[in-house]
Structure 1
């Protein structure tokens, strides 16, 4: 049995190695961006062509300053003319052709046409362009041979407080420890913090840390992270130094229920207030008893009591009716026409 295993094991290893080699595919080609002309002035137009992108990918094209294909867009999107950017979607072969206006970026050149994905995994490519008449300045000096690497897991610290429940921007501190693996010190390194929500590509912002990391040393770094007002859902916070992503950290942000409660109360209070105001106006406009034409409105009881006859009052004893007046007779008794003094008196009969 041992002899059989010894004979079969090399064959199995050879087969596995061959299968692994056969399973490896060639690395996907890098996306390519070319321009119809290398130099153009403000107000001109340049045609941008691209290939080797994924089919059906939405891309954004920007003209950015302080950038080179080797170092990328150093200042992030703050170095780009964002208002004059153009969007384009690749075809079934991963290629595209799109014209875009030439504008001056907010920072000096060297300049590039920066093309990057809008959704999904971030893929980008740059093409050098010279914007005629725009100032040119030297790129920021790199920090030598220093190489930073994250030595411990990143984490988000802090809380947003009660105001976040009412739509205030959620904020945290991205805390991590880096070590200098190079041979030169790294002074005031500039990191880039990316915020991605759902399927959308990360939005990058620069964060500079003040300090120096000596070769072979480590440092604890805290960078502020803030989302937009009313943000909620699942977010992915990424940390990049240079062109390398050092760490990623998920962040679940709760829904600002205070805003929902506010709108519910608003929908209940405003109609109630309008109803109260309307009723007050109607009450003031309604005529009051005794004010219409100077006459008092009869009360409802008056109409009911008027239907019944009023009893006639008899003259009081010892008081003779005044001349010219007749005594009121009861409705069920009519006195004789003869005066009472001439009326014969009757006596009881046996």
Structure 2
């Protein structure tokens, strides 16, 4: 019986050791160092070929984690490391003062894949130390209903303004003590990158067994587009996650297209105007030589005095200018003996050649003759 128990214990010990080895661990080459130095961080039990992030964080302990999230860490001096095929790593980390006072830890967490983290106590020489805030004993919050994002994008978001929403969720206090003014952590992640956490405090008290609807603002960076994930954390535990699809700001694309079309057109117009002004042989306000001379001649002609001729001379001049073929001759009349045509006067004003004749000369066809001197005068009915 004793031999059987010993054999069973021998078989279980490796399994227990394997289970313990699966938990991620972190060890430091130094537990204290000043700003500007460096320490070597060694890890075991991590997932093979996993990408990790190492940070020096304040207001944290290994058992409690980092309540303030990455806002309590020196993010500018963080280092990334990839584990080997056995889940181990070793890399140097620069020492920097975190934005929060100590107690401090070296925080190591996965960037992609399944979440895993581990902390190791560390002291930054010369950095202030303050006691940790009191934990709310007995109070525990849990998300009761599905979460959602309220709000919509405006016109400015179409032109690259930061998208914003309201993260709405309902929590209930499942503990035995009230939770007063709880501090939540809201993080947004894009693609395979880790969430960027931001602390937001809700003003109010949630009694044991009660629930409350909470709305926290969420805002992305300017020009953000694509698929995002909004996460909610409280007490170091992720309570809810909500996907968020952000459309592309097409207004910025339209603006750049118009800029690429309008600017070259304006430059071309300005260039053509400069070429026209700087063209050799062309002066401002100048006119062609032919037009200038014609204008001068007409101007001089208008200034000359105008002569007036007698009416008879004007009629004779017109008759002289008229071609012989275009003149009108009365039927039966000779051109050489026509007194009216030669003198240019009307026929009824032509004197009679034979005053003693009994009959008056016949007037040409189409013309009216004046009454004869010997004809009786008709005065009408008597």
TM class by smaller structure: 0.7 to 0.9
Single out whichever of 281-290 and 79-88 deviates more from structure 2: 281-290
Q: Deviations over 1:213-240 (max 9, x none)?
A: 0011111101111111111111111111
Q: Which aligned pairs between 1:59-208 and structure 2 lie closer than 5 A?
A: 59-208=52-201
Secondary structure of 1:68's aligned partner: coil
- Distance in 2 (alpha carbons) for counterparts of 1:96 and 1:73: 22
Give how far 1:117 is off.
Answer: 2.1
In structure 1, runs of 5+ residues without a counterpart are: 1-24, 301-350
- 1:222 aligned residue (201, 215, 223): 215
Q: Deviations over 1:271-302 (max 9, x none)?
A: 111111111111111135478xx9x87679xx
Change beyond 3 A, Cα 1:267–1:290: closer
- Distance in 2 (alpha carbons) for counterparts of 1:290 and 1:156: 69
Give how far 1:36 is off.
Answer: 0.6
Secondary structure of 1:73's aligned partner: coil
User: How well do the aligned residues superpose, as a CA RMSD in angstroms?
Assistant: 2.3
- Distance in 1 (alpha carbons) for counterparts of 2:74 and 2:236: 21
Change beyond 3 A, Cα 1:27–1:37: closer
Q: State whether residues 46 and 100 of structure 1, in contact with CA within 8 Å, keep that contact through their aligned partners in structure 2.
A: yes
- Distance in 1 (alpha carbons) for counterparts of 2:47 and 2:139: 35
Change beyond 3 A, Cα 1:290–1:108: closer
Change beyond 3 A, Cα 1:164–1:121: farther
State the TM-score, normalizing by the size of structure 2: 0.68
Q: Which aligned pairs between 1:4-83 and structure 2 lie closer than 5 A?
A: 29-83=22-76
State the TM-score, normalizing by the size of structure 1: 0.74
Q: Which aligned pairs between 1:226-245 and structure 2 lie closer than 5 A?
A: 226-245=219-238
Q: State whether residues 71 and 242 of structure 1, in contact with CA within 8 Å, keep that contact through their aligned partners in structure 2.
A: no
- Distance in 2 (alpha carbons) for counterparts of 1:216 and 1:58: 41
- Distance in 1 (alpha carbons) for counterparts of 2:283 and 2:212: 89
Q: State whether residues 181 and 215 of structure 1, in contact with CA within 8 Å, keep that contact through their aligned partners in structure 2.
A: yes
Change beyond 3 A, Cα 1:290–1:133: closer
Q: Which residue number in structure 2 is paired with residue 340 of structure 1?
A: none
Q: State whether residues 190 and 227 of structure 2, in contact with CA within 8 Å, keep that contact through their aligned partners in structure 1.
A: yes
- Distance in 2 (alpha carbons) for counterparts of 1:107 and 1:128: 15
Single out whichever of 27-36 and 145-154 deviates more from structure 2: 27-36
- Distance in 1 (alpha carbons) for counterparts of 2:283 and 2:192: 74
Q: Which aligned pairs between 1:272-291 and structure 2 lie closer than 5 A?
A: 272-289=265-282
Q: Which residue number in structure 1 is paired with residue 202 of structure 2?
A: 209
Secondary structure of 2:257's aligned partner: helix
Secondary structure of 2:33's aligned partner: strand
Please tell me whether residue 263 in structure 1 is matched to residue 256 in structure 2: yes
Structure (1 or 2) with the greater helix fraction = 2
- Distance in 2 (alpha carbons) for counterparts of 1:233 and 1:178: 29
Give how far 1:111 is off.
Answer: 0.3
Secondary structure of 2:223's aligned partner: coil
Q: State whether residues 67 and 236 of structure 2, in contact with CA within 8 Å, keep that contact through their aligned partners in structure 1.
A: no
Q: Which residue number in structure 2 is paired with residue 247 of structure 1?
A: 240
Q: State whether residues 122 and 201 of structure 1, in contact with CA within 8 Å, keep that contact through their aligned partners in structure 2.
A: no
Change beyond 3 A, Cα 1:148–1:45: same
Secondary structure of 1:106's aligned partner: coil
In structure 2, runs of 5+ residues without a counterpart are: 1-17, 292-382
- Distance in 1 (alpha carbons) for counterparts of 2:175 and 2:119: 28
Single out whichever of 206-215 and 54-63 deviates more from structure 2: 54-63
Secondary structure of 2:170's aligned partner: strand
